[in-house]
Amino acid sequence: MDARLNYFASPTAGRAFKHFMSAGKALKESALPRSTQELVSLRVSQINGCAVCIDMHTKEAAAAGETAVRLALVGAWREATVFTEAERAALELAEQGTRVADAAGGVGDEVWARAARHYDEEQLTALVILIAFMNTANRLNIIAQQPAGDYQVGQYH
């Protein structure tokens, strides 16, 4: 499968992605734990069906020490006993923030309150921006049909 667009060959994409990737770097350097970042990125990508992002974040998470069991259970985090309460709160916020069209009320107050119990304001800010960032990345990749499977850890850092 070939991508519809070659973002790396486009001057417009090059200019835009320079800033987009800077935002991604700022998120990686934020106070939000790296494991939480990778789990959230993976879950958002699963919901949206973005194969290239699932490939990337599964591999990045594993390289950062995430276990195969936890990675396999991200899609079933509600029933899995391997996630902390903080991670569950982040995953729930990620799901509601991603499924805004499906959830008529957007992110519910109870979901927000659970996340706020586990993360300070700076971490919550990073979490919200990460959710939006991943939704954007997913859409860019899905629209252009970016193929998955060849990602190498650290490829875009």
In the prediction, which pLDDT does 150 show? 86
Residue 103 has pLDDT above 70, yes or no: no
Handedness of CA 30, 153, 146, 10 (dihedral sign): positive
In the prediction, which pLDDT does 102 show? 77
In the prediction, which pLDDT does 28 show? 94
Q: How far apart are CA 83 and CA 73, in angstroms?
A: 9
In the prediction, which pLDDT does 8 show? 84
Domain 32-143 CATH (choose: 1.20.1290.10, 3.40.462.10, 2.60.40.1760, 1.10.3720.10): 1.20.1290.10
Share of the chain above pLDDT 90, in %: 82
Q: How far apart are CA 113 and CA 6, in angstroms?
A: 41
Q: Is the pTM of this model over 0.75?
A: yes
Residue 139 has pLDDT above 70, yes or no: yes
In the prediction, which pLDDT does 157 show? 66
CB neighbours of 132 closer than 8 A, spacing ≥ 6? 97
Tell me the C-alpha to C-alpha distance, in Å, between residue 136 and each of 46, 65, 111. Answer: 14, 26, 22
Helix/strand/coil percentages in the chain, nearest 5: 65, 0, 35
In the prediction, which pLDDT does 101 show? 82
By the 8 A CB rule, do 35 and 61 touch?
Answer: yes
Q: How does pLDDT run across 113-131, given as a tens digit for each residue?
A: 999 999 999 999 999 999 9
In the prediction, which pLDDT does 152 show? 85
Q: What is the mean pLDDT of residues 36-57?
A: 97
Tell me the C-alpha to C-alpha distance, in Å, between residue 157 and each of 19, 23, 124. Answer: 13, 12, 23
Q: What is the residue whose two structure tokens read 């569950």?
A: 88
In the prediction, which pLDDT does 58 show? 96
